[in-house]
Amino acid sequence: MKCIILAAGYATRMYPLTENFPKPLLEIQGKPILEWILEDINRIKEIDEIIIVSNHKFISVFEEWKKGLAYSDRIQLLDDGSTENENRLGAVRDIALCIERNNIKDDVLVLAGDNLVDFSFQEFVSFFYQKRTSCIMVHREESVEKLRRTGVAVLDGDGRLIEMQEKPENPASHFAVPPFYIYRGEELRFILEGIKQGRCQVDSPGSLIKWFCTEREVYACPMNGRRYDIGNLEIYEQMKEHFPGTVKITDTCDIMGVHIAVTNMEKTLHLLENNLEEWRGKYICVANVHTTVTAYEDEQYRAVQNKAVMALPDGGPLSRYSREHGFKDAQRVTGPDLMKEVLKISARKGWRHYFYGSTQETLDLLKKKIEESYPGTQIAGMYSPPFRELTQEEDAQIVDMINEAKPDFVWVGLGAPKQERWMAVHENRVNAVMIGVGAAFDYEAGNIKRAPAWMQKCSLEWLYRLMQDPKRLFKRYFVTNFKYMWWKIRH
């Protein structure tokens, strides 16, 4: 896959700042806008080349900037020949120029070079490979006023694009379309012919999709995060102070469509400590074969997993798969081990903890064990929710209760997939880092014994748990383990 980044505009609304300097290279928190995008794109293994389209006026600025990049060999700069706003080619003709000049036949990810996002484009790429059709990205926008200033998608029940509106006076849906697209390599010649025949506006990538979706199948990938369009000086000044950065800052390995973090315990603890404030309101999943197979079969649950800051490889087979596919440093990071390691250093760091889930009896035992084993650790609170669906009022009260306790971490022990769905629903509502740790409460409290070290090392902890609770776990382990092995053989 190639990535085309459109950076040939003149940003006249940001004059005089951009009169003699390209907007994509303006700095946000010490880093050019474009580099925030590139650092993510450079980690996506499916992308083997990045093409940045500039205009002739600023090409020398881009060439000087490129010299300082560690991954400059992956980047090609393309001069579209225009010298001022009045003779610009426009975004659509810049796309065509890239395809023709490089004789591109591969799939193509197209991005606007002046947008910031707080998520990784890896999920968009994975979504494309699952659908094997050209794709757009969409997010829900409640403001009709904002919808009137952007592209709007009308989707069918399966997420297929059936109509694209460009800055409509009366939006037909609440799905806004940011300037992020993926086109199949087999359809690029068809797109070039359409552009030459004048089927779309030359300066509107959205109008290209508007025509294209009437001729070919296009699917919409939900945008799992926020996009920031640096459209004027006011927004630029705001982003200089408040841009949260890209949330996902570790490599991932795609396993059955789930982006499993490539990490180890030391790196995970380092990430937690260094990003604690940025990650407040976000959540971390702890993934094993069971949750990964479940996510493979359930698109909504897969989106929940992939929207997490990290999906840690709790299961040994997942970290082994990552190592087999080139990630030599990938190691297992289990929920119980992570909770134990964080608790060990909490008194020194001053971190506060809230425990949500399990039974009151288990929470009482857990509290006693923490006080004995990790002296000085601050327990902000504990809550055992009822074994039924909560009302909206009850849920709001619980969120208020958690936030009033001011925890740094909320450990969620509801079991999969319930705990991951709970965290996703409470994203940006709970003011702490949420981590779903399954049976970690029972392990730490002493209700369940961990498997011997040799069984953990041999990825046989599931077998040890099965022997402890065969009636409940037999179907879960044997069915999902078989499905995972069959998928691995086929892939």
What is the per-residue pLDDT for 31?
87
Helices and strands: H and E segment counts in the chain: 20, 22
Look at residue 345 and give its three-state secondary structure.
helix
Which residues are paired to 405 by β-bridges?
A: none
Which residues are paired to 3 by β-bridges?
A: 50, 109
What is the per-residue pLDDT for 136?
95
Distance (Å, whole) CA 59 – CA 50: 16
Containing H/E element for 421?
helix 418-425
CB 416 within 8 A of CB 294: yes
What is the per-residue pLDDT for 23?
95
What is the DSSP pairing of strand 433-436 with strand 409-413?
parallel
What is the per-residue pLDDT for 275?
81
CB 1 within 8 A of CB 198: no
Distance (Å, whole) CA 432 – CA 211: 44
What is the per-residue pLDDT for 465?
64
Residue 44: other Cβ atoms inside 10 A: 20
Distance (Å, whole) CA 106 – CA 87: 30
**What's the sign of the alpha-carbon dihedral 329, 335, 340, 342?**
positive
Alpha carbon distances (Å) from 60 to 5, 8, 65, 282, 299? 17, 13, 9, 40, 45
Chunked into runs of 10 residues, the chain (491 residues) has average pLDDT values of 95 93 91 90 89 96 91 92 93 94 95 89 88 92 90 92 93 93 94 88 86 93 84 88 65 90 91 85 94 93 90 93 89 96 96 97 97 97 95 96 97 96 94 95 88 70 67 73 91 78
Q: What is the largest CA-CA distance in the chain?
A: 75
Instruction: Identify residue 108 by its one-letter amino acid code.
Output: V
What is the per-residue pLDDT for 462?
63
CB 24 within 8 A of CB 132: no
As given in the structure block, the two tokens for residue 57 are: 């006026």
